Structure 1
Amino acid sequence: MGENNEELKALHDPYAALRSRDYRLYACGSMAAVLGQQVQAVAVGWELYERTHSTLLLGWVGLVQALPPILLSLPAGQVADRYDRQRVIMVAQTVVALAALGLSLLSALHGAVMLIYGCLLISALARAFSGPANSALLPQLVPPAALANAVTWRSSWFQVGSVIGPALGGLVIAWQKSAAFAYVLTVACAFSFLLFTAALRPQYRPPARAKEAISFRSLVGGLSFIWSNQIILATITLDLFAVLLGGATTLLPVYAKDILHVGPVGLGWLRAAPSVGALAMAIVLAYLPPMRRAGLTLLLAVSGFGVATIVFGLSHNFYLSLAMLALTGVFDNISVVVRSTLLQLLTPDAMRGRVLAVNFVFVSASNEIGGFESGLVAEWFGPILSVVGGGIGTLVVVLAVAWLWPQVRRLGSLSELAG
């Protein structure tokens, strides 16, 4: 067994994906997109709470952004499988940039709050199509042997943008005393993503094959595939309910202003803290050989996420709160890498867009609906009970998944599964 471990370490190249020119462009574009999205999230959260002092309206931000992925996931997956994925991303990012420009104008002119929600809805509509196409494009940019490494590094680029974005957004708001310029940064980031995507020259396209005729059966193909694969179904379900219950991000403006008393700059750091932890863990995972017991690792990681959420909810100390949020990022990154690698390894390219579109719903919508749930519960019972109760709910979900899907506990090395 020791010799096998040494052999795995010798064969493992932590920079395999980064040797691809297209992957490097893809990483830069993805990081720019995430940075812009995070800047916008900080700006919207701060501006709405500053103007309305309503936790419920903060929750509505999540619901407005969750509806498009839920309603459009099936057609968005079909589009990603039938049309050029690069072009889909480029069109979608143009719409994202225009919506952010609208937010900037509304902020500068103190426009109606309902119009802010309208711009968020338009942006979410575009991202509903961009997300599946972006994920489905990844296997065309690296050799098959480097795919798992590409997924791990992709998480790193996401976290880099998530670290810089919130901190930058908070600093800009504090400097300008307004969120208007923060939205302009989102416009610039969206166009950067568009340009990086346009420069891609995918080398690993699958052999041309006749496209499946548009039908109800093809439309729900992604759902059918996930339902038939119990490992994927279990890991997605675990992530869905853990994020629905355990997310505290929506209430960070409340914690920054009323509980921790740290202002917009502190809010930026609070938003960035989970990504700092996630980035550190992503780099560690890129250097480590493939997990030997991926299923057990996943269950323990989501449990750790729940515990860290509970401690954060109870904390009145800024530095303890930062530490707990960083730990949520550490544990969440492990979950993301395991789930994303499983999806990429086990899904045929011909239906990758549809499967990843369903996953996009689980990931994106669970974050946004979780935000709505947090805002609603906070309105009724207060922010602390909302966050703590969500963390306890996450632990219950882990126990339920481990009991309902025992194959998750038995899941071993992802590299062996791919073979």
Structure 2
Amino acid sequence: MSADPVADNPSSPFVSVRIKEFRLYIIQRFFFIMAMRMIATVVGWKMYELTKNPLAIAFIGLSEAVPAVILALYSGHVVDKSDKRTLLFKTILLYFISSSALLFITMHNTEVSMGKKFVQFAIYFVIFCTGVIRAFSGPATSSILAQLVPKSVLPNAVTWSSTTWLSASVLGHASAGFLVAYYGYTGTFILIMVYITIAATALFQIERKPIAHTNRGQDAWESVKEGLRYVFSTKELLDAITLDMFAVLFGGTVAMIPFFAGDILHVGAIGFGWLNAAADIGSMSVILTLTFYPLRKKQGMVLLFVVAGFGLSIITFGLSKIYALSFMALLLSGALDGISVVVRGTILQLKTPDNMRGRVSSVNSMFINSSNEIGYFESGVAAKLLGIVPSVIFGGAMTLLVVTVMWFKAPTLRKFEY
């Protein structure tokens, strides 16, 4: 291999993986995301066992979303004026501390001595803290990517990064169900902490990166406004973020999966883990395919069609009372969402200048990532008001409505190609 791995074969689907620091990045990303997904699965199942109340589970999402949304814009300013590698390393260490706290909270002796209410509200508090951490880790993770590979291979790197994220999600969701069933909460959280340690070790081997912020003495509020102005003036980027935000907000089913698993499909922790992993398995499969056979044209129109298909698959899941059909509906929803992830992620990377990556990523994080948790809350409230099944069908129908509106209101996105 030559000194320049990109020059060897710039069209290779493995071109970005040949870069050492990018390999370390995806190792870090894999183990960190797997740990985060395991935490989400374990905490959701624990809350279901504690309360059997959809609102109690909904408040897990709200606990994480509130600090993530409040701090999102400021965190972008911090990321842009900071060494992203060091900042990301600190957030991973803080996740390790949060996992240690959850290990203690979910111990049987803690529940016996302190009571179920203590366990419930202690979980809310720790998840609130992870929301604060994630407000900084998300933009740092996204913005450092462009510093690890040449711009010419960014689309390839985005696809590999998305594949890594989804592979970790699959293993995190599914293995958490198995681990809780066989080794309990304590054993599961010990493994989570091991994964976080591996992630921190890989990231530590990446060299510190130069700070690209062009005005480091800029006032924080002015810096935030500059990032917002850029997003709102870049139509393709704004439209892609808006479409995905509403699709995730209304089409998310994760919060209700414990109830479908336990009360409708009558499967235990293992079946719950596989249902949680189904969407990510679909996403991983399609993104692996896109790594070797990337979309060549009309990516904007494809994005609208796949989000519509996502809404239909969510409606199918809501109507199903057969485990295999429910699993396949979630699998299809994930496959369609995987295409959306690649298209939107590529638009984000290609349309963002280096000196604004933290702020633009933070706006994206506020609209997209936090909509997962707000959608988690919305699903719980809707389930309480409408019932479990009608709330999921309603969410899928609203996703279809969003796509219809965006088809007519966002012609720039519909015609976009890269």
- Distance across 2 between alignment mates of 1:15 and 1:61: 38
- Distance across 2 between alignment mates of 1:124 and 1:182: 21
- Segments of structure 2 that go 5 or more residues without pairing to the other structure are 1-8
Counterpart residue number, 1:368: 373
- Distance across 2 between alignment mates of 1:210 and 1:383: 50
Counterpart residue number, 1:95: 94
CA RMSD for the aligned pairs? 1.5
- Distance across 1 between alignment mates of 2:289 and 2:165: 15
2:31 counterpart SS class: helix
Q: Is 1:192 matched up with 2:191?
A: no
Measured at CA, do residues 257 and 350 of structure 1 come closer, stay the same or move farther in structure 2, by a change above 3 Å?
Answer: same
Counterpart residue number, 2:37: 38
**Contact 1:221 / 1:355 at 8 angstroms: preserved in 2?**
no
**Contact 1:235 / 1:339 at 8 angstroms: preserved in 2?**
yes
- Distance across 2 between alignment mates of 1:89 and 1:24: 16
Cα shift at 1:96: 0.9
Counterpart residue number, 1:417: none
- Segments of structure 1 that go 5 or more residues without pairing to the other structure are 1-9, 415-419
Matches within 5 A, 1:140-159: 140-159=147-166
TM score, norm. by length of structure 2: 0.93
Q: Is 1:138 matched up with 2:137?
A: no
Cα shift at 1:366: 0.5
Q: CA offsets, 1:203-257, max 9 Å, x none?
A: 8x57785525124221222211111111111110000101100000111110110
Counterpart residue number, 2:188: 182
**Contact 1:141 / 1:202 at 8 angstroms: preserved in 2?**
no
Cα shift at 1:45: 0.8
Q: Is 1:63 matched up with 2:62?
A: yes
Q: Is 1:119 matched up with 2:118?
A: no
Match of 2:352 among 336, 339, 347: 347
- Distance across 2 between alignment mates of 1:202 and 1:345: 23
Which deviates the most, 24-33 or 217-226?
A: 217-226
Counterpart residue number, 1:335: 340
- Distance across 2 between alignment mates of 1:156 and 1:103: 28
- Residue type of the partner of 1:96? Y
**Contact 1:152 / 1:286 at 8 angstroms: preserved in 2?**
yes
- Residue type of the partner of 1:349? D
Match of 2:288 among 283, 286, 303: 283
Match of 1:303 among 295, 308, 326: 308
Cα shift at 1:185: 2.4
- Distance across 2 between alignment mates of 1:409 and 1:210: 35
1:42 counterpart SS class: helix
Q: How many matched pairs?
A: 402
- Distance across 2 between alignment mates of 1:28 and 1:403: 41
- Residue type of the partner of 1:181? G
Q: CA offsets, 1:91-122, max 9 Å, x none?
A: 11111111111111011011511111111111
Matches within 5 A, 1:193-272: 193-201=199-207, 209-272=214-277
Match of 2:323 among 314, 318, 322: 318
Q: CA offsets, 1:11-64, max 9 Å, x none?
A: 732111111111111001101011101111111111111111100001001111
TM score, norm. by length of structure 1: 0.93
Which deviates the most, 207-216 or 185-194?
A: 207-216
Counterpart residue number, 2:5: none
2:207 counterpart SS class: coil
- Residue type of the partner of 1:288? Y
Return structure 1 stretches of 4+ with deviation > 3 angstroms: 205-210
Cα shift at 1:290: 3.9
1:384 counterpart SS class: helix
Counterpart residue number, 2:20: 21
